[in-house]
Each structure stands twice: as C-alpha cells, then as structure tokens.
Amino acid sequence: MHLPVDFIVARDSFLLAFPALFSIINPLGAAIIFLQAAQGCSRAEQRRLARQVALYSVFLLIGSVWAGSALLVFFGITINALRVAGGLFVARGGWVMLQSPEDNEQKRQDQITNKDGSAVSSPRLQDIAFFPLTMPFTVGPGTIAVAIALRSGDGGRHWFAYDMGIYCASVAVALTVWIAYSHADRLTSMLGITGTRILGRLAALVLLAIGVQIVASGIIGFATDFMATHKQ
C-alpha cells in the first residue's frame, strides 16, 4: 500500500519538529518548577492554569512558525542560510543543556521568582498564565528560534503538508505541556530531581542531533545551488 506523498511529508516534518520542540521546552522538567509557581493554588486551579499555559503556548509556537516565513521574505534571507544559522543555534542549545542542565533549571527558576526569591504569584491566575509561565518560562526565545529554524526545512512542492506537520507537532507539544503541568505533583513524586535531569540530558542529546541535521541540510543546499550555478 502506497501512502500519499503529502502524508509522508507531513509525517516526516512532524517527526522532526516534535522531538526538537519537546526537547527545548522539556515539559517534564519544567513541570517541577511550574509546581513551585502554582503553590498555594488548589488542584483545580493548577489544572486550569496548566490548560491556559498550554493554550498560550500553542498560539506562540504556531505564530512563530508562520511568522518565520514572513521574516525570511522581508529580510531576503535564503532558506539555506536560515538552516545553517538555525541549526547552529539549535545544536548550541542542545550542547549547553547537555553540559550544564542545572544552569538551565536555575535560569527557569529565576524566570518565575521575584528578586527576593519568592514565587511570582497573583490573586488572579490569568495574570501569571502568559507572563511569566508561558513567556518566557515555557516558550522562550530559544523555543521560538527553534520553531523558525524548523520552518526552514525543505518541503518542496509539498510545503503545505510540511507546514501542517510542524503545526501538528506544535499542538502535540502543547498537549504534553498541559498533561505534565496538570499532573506536576505526581511527576515530581515519580521522577524526582535525578530522574528529571536524566530525561533532560536525553532530550538535550536529541536536540543536539537535530541541530546538526538542520545544519547538514543547509550545507547540502548551498552545495547543490553552487553546482547548479556552475553547470549553467
């Protein structure tokens, strides 16, 4: 049975985008810190807050993917240049996470705490749902850069299917954020600090490999364009 080409392209772009976005966001590790930010809230309030953060996250991710192509056209940046630059950024993020996951945890911790070390809190959950819990804690500048870099992939004539795969991956990652944040207390007791850091290192390794793959596709693209130009 032969699958439609569009389905294959969408599947492949999903399989590329989901682990990249999942690794940079790391919902399982972030859930532990989310639990600290939501301390004092009831179980129902925590779940409502998690749902709101997931909703904001999917809008930010899809908006980043969509805006990425518009920025390319506006600044006249070639796809291959974005692949190399974006891939290097993704690989660097994975390398940093792999070398010092504790520093990354501390950075996220600082994003949801006040100067005196107390958790950012508000009488209204909506006041902290977008800032700081969604932006920059869950979907920060690094995640937005990864989403834009993923958009630089080669969908060719099947660009719509390629984009749909990335959009579906964004929705899937947002769902994992919702589940992880909603059950943050259970994840904390199950994984603990050590288990979370182990998963974080595995996610960092995947992110590093994806970054290298994006860079390689950009270099191949440059080489192909160069050879095509000199054949003429």
Measured CA to CA, the distance from residue 223 to residue 60 in angstroms comes to 34
If one counts the domains in the chain, the total is 1
Q: Which residue has the tokens 């440059």?
A: 222
Q: Where are the alpha helices (DSSP H) in 76-156?
A: 79-99, 101-111, 126-128, 141-151
When pLDDT is averaged across residues 68-80 and rounded to a whole number, the result is 74
pLDDT tens column, 10-69: 999 999 899 989 988 888 888 877 887 777 778 888 899 999 999 999 999 999 888 876
Looking at the domain assignment, is residue 14 inside a domain?
A: no
In which band, very low, low, confident or very high, does the pLDDT at 122 lie, cut at 50, 70 and 90?
very low
Q: Where are the alpha helices (DSSP H) in the chain?
A: 5-25, 27-37, 43-75, 79-99, 101-111, 126-128, 141-151, 159-182, 184-231
- Closest Cα to residue 17, out of 161, 163, 131? 163
Tokens of 85: 């630059």
Which residue range forms the structural domain that includes residue 64?
20-231
Measured CA to CA, the distance from residue 122 to residue 148 in angstroms comes to 32
Measured CA to CA, the distance from residue 113 to residue 5 in angstroms comes to 48
Looking at the domain assignment, is residue 27 inside a domain?
A: yes
What is the reported pLDDT for 123?
45
What is the reported pLDDT for 116?
53
Looking at the domain assignment, is residue 8 inside a domain?
A: no
Looking at the domain assignment, is residue 188 inside a domain?
A: yes
Cβ atoms 20, 150 nearer than 8 A: yes
Looking at the domain assignment, is residue 39 inside a domain?
A: yes
Q: What is the DSSP letter of 158?
A: G
Whether residue 80 has pLDDT greater than 70: yes
Q: What is the DSSP letter of 3?
A: P
Q: How far is CA 219 from CA 94, 184, 213, in A?
A: 20, 41, 10
Measured CA to CA, the distance from residue 32 to residue 199 in angstroms comes to 13
pLDDT tens column, 189-212: 787 767 767 777 777 787 788 788
Measured CA to CA, the distance from residue 219 to residue 4 in angstroms comes to 29
pLDDT tens column, 132-188: 888 878 887 778 878 887 876 656 677 789 889 999 999 999 999 999 999 988 887
User: Whole-prediction pTM value?
Assistant: 0.74
Looking at the domain assignment, is residue 4 inside a domain?
A: no
Measured CA to CA, the distance from residue 124 to residue 137 in angstroms comes to 18
Cβ atoms 171, 54 nearer than 8 A: no
Looking at the domain assignment, is residue 157 inside a domain?
A: yes
What is the reported pLDDT for 218?
81
Looking at the domain assignment, is residue 12 inside a domain?
A: no
- Closest Cα to residue 177, out of 80, 47, 81, 71? 47
